[in-house]
Structure 1
Amino acid sequence: MSPAVFLLSAVLVSPLLWAQAPAKTFVAADFQVPEIYVSRQGTFKLKPLVPKYAKLDYDAYMGSIEHLQKTFSFSTRWPNAGISLADAIRDTEGEEAGFHARRKFTYAVLNPVESRELGCVYISPSTKEGYDATVRMWVTENQAIIGFDKRLYEEVKLWLRARWPFERVAFIGSEITREEFMKLPDKAR
């Protein structure tokens, strides 16, 4: 085979090979990802954020726009008054897809009877050296006022240590500030 034919065949075949290669997952294929966590006191539970919870999620963050812009997103882009329920449904569809693909895990923090969302927990791969995972959390303004964010952090920390395969987790906003985390060296790709 001439070098030109080889190069042409490599160019034509390579995209097909890439398309067939499995996407990199965040956790091992044999790790059973938890579908539910019930708090030690039974006062809240974590369940994957899926379209079934879109309305609860929407109500939670739309009722705490200013609080979340100051404490979680540090931006007026999310949440904002222009977000529709249809937007929220699409967002939860994306979160569900990421969960099933094992690329990231987003959990709704629900009251025991699942009639109200209290916040969210995001478990993602770390892009920074020294950590294999990151956790970001938010709670509604009324839950922050009563200190629920601190209880949620303690519970999630224990749950991850007991149930998840991570060695070093960056709890952004609880153990390390967003600014400190961003200054860390990036992982080699």
Structure 2
Amino acid sequence: MTSPTPSASWLPPGFTHPTRVELLDDVHLRPIRGDDVTIDYPAVMGSRERLWAKYGEAWGWPPATMTEEQDRMDLEHHERETLAHETFNYAVLNADESRLLGSVYLDPPRPRDDGDVIVSWRVTDELAGGPIERALDTFVPHWITDAWPFKRPILGP
């Protein structure tokens, strides 16, 4: 997945990104890592058509032919971006981190955008419309303005 090119000043100096966030009693968010591929790949490919409808035009992701190794490389790229504070990809995980339930993405705005961060989130197909998706719908907009230095988030796609 390709993210917008980050602005050098989109985060204030010294800002520390959250490393774990509780969503529900048995669901939390944390930055995704390359070694999450064993739970990410089946979750992504199992929801590929809905993900393509949401992100395909903008990001060309996820391609129908994506392999597990390509997914690992993508996740490792996201992990490096997070460490560099360029963009952020948070995994939505069950308590023991044996299942990827969804993702939350934070990207710097493009020059034409009227906002300070682009935020989107998704759940796997089987969770669409359920309590985890509803919790994200309520939680994420507030989390972005309360725990992050953003005041004008662009929510979507």
| TM-score range relative to shorter protein | 0.7 to 0.9
Match of 1:85 in 2: 68
1:76 Cα deviation (Å)? Answer: 10
Moved over 6 A (4+): none
1:68 aligns with 2:51: yes
1:105 aligns with 2:91: no
1:1-189 aligned at under 5 Å gives the runs 24=8, 26-39=10-23, 41-74=24-57, 77-127=60-110, 128-146=112-130, 148-173=132-157
In the alignment, the residues of structure 2 paired with residue 163 and residue 94 of structure 1 have an alpha-carbon distance, to the nearest angstrom, of 24
| 8 Å contact from structure 1 (residues 47, 107) kept in 2 | yes
Going by fraction, where is strand more abundant, 1 or 2? 2
**Aligned sequence identity (%):** 30
Letter in 2 for 1:131: G
Larger Cα-atom Rg: 1
- Bigger relative contact order, structure 1 or 2 (CA pairs below 8 A, ≥6 apart): 2
| 8 Å contact from structure 1 (residues 72, 138) kept in 2 | no
Match of 1:19 in 2: none
3-state SS, counterpart of residue 128 of structure 2: helix
Greater mean alpha carbon deviation, residues 148-157 or residues 106-115: 148-157
Task: Give the TM-score taking structure 1 as reference length.
Answer: 0.72
Task: Give the TM-score taking structure 2 as reference length.
Answer: 0.85
Aligned residues: 150
RMSD, aligned CA: 2.1
Going by fraction, where is helix more abundant, 1 or 2? 1
Letter in 1 for 2:27: F
In the alignment, the residues of structure 2 paired with residue 172 and residue 151 of structure 1 have an alpha-carbon distance, to the nearest angstrom, of 16
In the alignment, the residues of structure 2 paired with residue 130 and residue 148 of structure 1 have an alpha-carbon distance, to the nearest angstrom, of 29
In the alignment, the residues of structure 1 paired with residue 25 and residue 12 of structure 2 have an alpha-carbon distance, to the nearest angstrom, of 29
Structure 1's unaligned 5+ residue stretches are 1-22, 174-189
| 8 Å contact from structure 1 (residues 126, 134) kept in 2 | yes
Deviations along 1:161-189, one digit per CA (max 9) or x if unpaired, are 2211011001113xxxxxxxxxxxxxxxx
1:147 Cα deviation (Å)? Answer: 5.3
In the alignment, the residues of structure 2 paired with residue 117 and residue 126 of structure 1 have an alpha-carbon distance, to the nearest angstrom, of 26
